[in-house]
Structure 1
Amino acid sequence: MSNNIEKLISQKAFNNEHHKGLVSLIFVGNWVTSRHQQFFKKFDITMQQYNILRILRGQHPKAATINLLKERMLDKMSDVSRLVERLRKADLVERKNCELDRRAVDVKITPKGLQLLKTIDEEIAELDSCMKSLSEKEIIQLNKLLDKMLDNY
């Protein structure tokens, strides 16, 4: 028998389908986040740090400013400066004052950071497994529905 949200949270009934959908979305979001946290633990980084490294790899060999990182982060509540500092201490990024704007900081991924991402890329399919119960057609539909929800963002 398959799981459903009522069974998973011992809920008898929801007020309506909208409420059930929202609760399900939050539950699934937390489940996926938890899986990601566990996965990245073995690489000694957080999901947010991984997000920064991915952004920097996309910018490579150019640098990115702290503001660019903030704009592109998935978790808009992240303290990007603190995350970058932790990555710098781990020698995964380097930071220096921007030559064009003394108030800005340029951040670049290091070879060690690129290598870590390469290692993670080899195992990242482990995270995708939470989507394995959905067909390609269902994934496309899910993406369309999520995009439609983001129209309210």
Structure 2
Amino acid sequence: MSIETDIKQATPFRTPYHRVMVNLIYTSNWMADSQMRLLKPFGLTLQQYNVLRILRGQSPNPVKVSDITERMLDKMSNASRLVDKLVAKKLVLRTECPSDRRAVDVVVTDKGLALLTQLDVHQAELDADYQSKLTEEEAVYLSQLLDKLRA
């Protein structure tokens, strides 16, 4: 289905660049909605999931909250608040950094890792849906085009 059909637009876009911008925003929101529906039964937000994945990638090493902030996909997220919510859910541990008492180290707990393993199964189902729509070569090329657009 075309972007024009999805957003019920009868008039053509001003330029192909305007069309691609609208299409990217619409598709990004569509993909985020799929992710949110996946995470909702587990009581997680997209931003919390992003923090957990960052921590899993560094596990078992601790990560400073400031480093989490730098790596977040959503740059408007408050990493400190997100970590607090994950601590309350016992998915991460927060400790004082031994080398800098003003900094805070965060590590994912076994419970957090187990949740991520569960989510990996569901994520694989979403990936399979994308694989039915794009070949691996198309996915690589699309990523290259998006990287080029941001460069």
1:58 Cα offset (Å): 1.2
What 5-or-longer segments of structure 1 have no aligned partner?
none
1:91 aligns to what SS in structure 2?
coil
- 2:68 maps to 69
1:131 Cα offset (Å): 4.9
**Cα distance change of structure 1 residues 130 and 136 upon mapping to structure 2, 3 Å threshold:** closer
Cα distance in 2, alignment partners of residues 15 and 57 from structure 1 = 44
Query: 1:127 aligned to 2:126?
Result: yes
1:102 aligns to what SS in structure 2?
strand
Say what the alpha-carbon RMSD is for the aligned residues.
Answer: 1.1
- 1:88 maps to 87
Cα distance in 2, alignment partners of residues 71 and 43 from structure 1 = 25
Residues 8-27 of structure 1: pairs in structure 2 closer than 5 A: 8-12=6-10, 13-27=12-26
1:134 Cα offset (Å): 1.2
2:83 alignment partner AA = V
Q: Structure 1 stretches (4+) deviating beyond 6 angstroms?
A: none
What 5-or-longer segments of structure 2 have no aligned partner?
none
1:106 aligns to what SS in structure 2?
strand
- 2:139 maps to 139
**Cα distance change of structure 1 residues 20 and 131 upon mapping to structure 2, 3 Å threshold:** farther
1:97 Cα offset (Å): 1.3
Cα distance in 2, alignment partners of residues 149 and 21 from structure 1 = 11
Decide whether the 8 Å contact of 1:95 with 1:105 is kept in 2.
yes
Percent of aligned pairs with the same residue? 46
Decide whether the 8 Å contact of 1:32 with 1:130 is kept in 2.
no
1:100 Cα offset (Å): 1.1
2:150 alignment partner AA = L
2:70 aligns to what SS in structure 1?
helix
1:108 aligns to what SS in structure 2?
strand
Decide whether the 8 Å contact of 2:38 with 2:122 is kept in 1.
no
TM-score (norm 2): 0.94
Residues 32-43 of structure 1: pairs in structure 2 closer than 5 A: 32-43=31-42
Cα shift readout 1:74-93 (whole Å, capped 9, x = no counterpart): 11110101100000000000
- 2:57 maps to 58
Pairs aligned (count): 149
1:150 Cα offset (Å): 1.7
